Amino acid sequence: MENESFDPDKEKIELPSADSSDMELAFFLMRHIDNPCETELYSGQRVNIRKFYIDLAEESLSKLTNPDAKLLLESKVGEYKSET
């Protein structure tokens, strides 16, 4: 399983559009962190992709300008960060 990785392009994940508000992006990511999708690895094993959404949330934090959206997303990442 070490060599198997998740490819978001292959899975066709639809992220919020570029004109989405900070709050829309934060809620989208928080929902997917709480309830991550699953993908099938080459071996046939199914795994959830929570880490992908946590990484995406961490990348997005520096771009958010709404302090409330940023605080909500930071809090959600903190809930699960120790699990990844």
Quick one: average pLDDT of 34-49? 91
Find the farthest-apart pair of alpha carbons in the chain and give their distance in angstroms, rounded. Answer: 42
pTM, whole model, 2 decimals?
Answer: 0.78
For residue 11, pLDDT beyond 70: no
Quick one: average pLDDT of 24-37? 96
Task: Give the integer Cα–Cα distance in Å for 53 and 78.
Answer: 13
For residue 36, pLDDT beyond 70: yes
Of 9-18, 35-44, 49-58, 73-82, the poorest mean pLDDT is in 9-18
Token pair in block for residue 13: 């994940």
Residues 41 and 1: beta-carbon distance below 8 Å: yes
Q: What's the confidence (pLDDT) of residue 1?
A: 43
For residue 55, pLDDT beyond 50: yes
Of 29-33, 40-44, 65-69, the poorest mean pLDDT is in 40-44
